[in-house]
Amino acid sequence: MSDKNRVAVIGGGPAGLMAAEELAGAGMAVTVYDRMASAGRKFLLAGRGGLNLTHGEPLDRFLTRYRPAPPQIMAAIAAFPPERLRAWCEALGQPTFVGSSGRVFPKAMKASPLLRSWLRRLQSQGVRFALRHDWIGWNDTGGLEFMRPDGATVADQPEATILALGGASWPRLGSDGAWTEVLGRAGIAIAPLRPANCGFRADWPEAFGERRAGAPLKRIAVTFGGRTVRGEAVITRDGLEGGAIYALSGPLRDAIACHGAAAVAIDLRPDLAEAELAGRVANRNKKETFSTSLRKHAKLSPPAIDLLRESAAGLRLADLPPLALARLVKAVPVRLIGAAPIVRAISTAGGVAFYAIDQQMMLHDRSGVFVAGEMLDWDAPTGGYLLQASFATGFAAARGAIDFIRDRAFVSS
């Protein structure tokens, strides 16, 4: 292995580790730098509830999940598609399966066995890990500079560098977005980091949030901007979160940024037609309380009834005609006024602009520096799309770095 073929990978998440594996397999001398004490911390958190690696839907539909859809992302996923990711996982001794929703998981349903096998393989390939090294930028000679916990600085001058430092969600796990200042000083175009797959603050009284914080809204449908998503949500102290909300978070976030607020419509009984629901509530026993009637005949949970009452403040629901009540149950209006803080988001939108990199993921203004993963300005829903793009762009950046080093060697020979 030649000392000239040295590559630094900054960031020990899925994108960085995939880049390191591909580089090492091509005979490169690879050092993975990470500011944390161990690699893959956010990856482990992602697998806490079942590691959703990718999705089993056809590739043409899969690719429509990304906003925006730059050619670099499309090409990266086409070169390293879900089938290849599953084969890679199984080669590490972690067979996968497709769930009823189309989501793909390792059979172990955890990230830790996969990560342990992966790190062992990387070490067997000669990949070196420099942990607790916080990247602070480039020095005067163009080399990389890192800060260690004791305050000492360490420099490295590799043939190529892959930046895979993640976004700005869950900073305690290593991704704090501090790299935006470093790249900004270097004149690299960066779209502001924004929360993605996140909850939202709602325009409702504090007392309601206090009373129902943590309460689930199950088997609902949420509509915004002409799109309807079925799933679940959770009432928080100041708003809503959960899968049905996360799936609409990009359009909601952008609408709130533009207009200051966005109203969603929540169907509390999406499996019942409006007329059938009206018939059920019309037959309620007049001796029952209104809440009891809604629980028995409309099958609404207490949190759903509370949300219904809150949305109709000023109206006496018991006096509404059955059809009007059914219409409200199937389109409860909730006004959202802001996204949850980025540190609580599942992922991050924004980052290095795609016009700042070439087709091989290399920065136009920094020869030999490649970017991968959540640092790039793309957005996608949960369901396996986030990890798939991180793995795929890590692979693409590594291939770009390999070609870059080999082209330079050819020119100099």
pLDDT, tens digit, 9 for 90 and up, residues 129-168: 999 999 999 999 999 999 999 999 999 999 999 999 999 9
Measured from the Cβ of residue 151, the count of other Cβ atoms closer than 10 Å reads 6
The pLDDT profile of the chain, 413 residues, written as one tens digit per residue, is 445 699 999 999 999 999 999 999 999 999 999 999 999 999 998 877 789 999 999 999 999 999 888 899 999 999 999 999 999 999 999 999 999 999 999 999 999 999 999 999 999 999 999 999 999 999 999 999 999 999 999 999 999 999 999 999 989 998 999 999 999 999 999 999 999 999 999 999 999 999 999 999 999 999 999 999 999 999 999 999 999 999 999 999 999 999 999 999 999 999 999 999 999 988 877 788 889 989 999 999 999 999 999 998 878 888 899 999 999 999 999 999 999 999 999 999 999 999 999 999 999 999 999 999 999 999 999 999 999 999 999 999 999 999 999 998 877 76
Separation CA 291–CA 296 (nearest Å): 9
Residues 6 or more apart in contact with residue 401 via CB below 8 angstroms: 7, 19, 23, 28, 160, 162, 362, 368, 370
Altogether, the residues listed in the chain come to a count of: 413
* pLDDT single digits (tens) 242-265: 999 999 999 999 999 999 999 999
Separation CA 249–CA 116 (nearest Å): 33
Determine whether 61 is exposed, middle or buried from the number of CB atoms within 10 Å of its CB (0-12, 13-18, 19+): exposed
> Contact 295/197 with Cβ under 8 angstroms?
no
Instruction: Of 266, 3, 344, 283, give the one whose Cα is nearest residue 159.
Output: 3
Q: Which residues of the chain does CATH 3.50.50.60 include?
A: 6-196+348-412
What is the architecture, at CATH level 2, of domain 6-196+348-412?
A: 3-Layer(bba) Sandwich (3.50)
What pLDDT shows up at residue 264? 98
**CA gyration radius for the chain?**
25
What pLDDT shows up at residue 283? 82
Q: What is the model's pTM?
A: 0.92
Give CB contacts under 8 A, 24+ apart, made by 217-221.
217/242, 217/266, 217/268, 217/301, 217/303, 217/304, 217/307, 218/301, 219/270, 219/271, 220/244, 220/266, 220/267, 220/268, 220/270, 220/304, 221/266, 221/267, 221/270
What pLDDT shows up at residue 280? 92
What pLDDT shows up at residue 323? 95
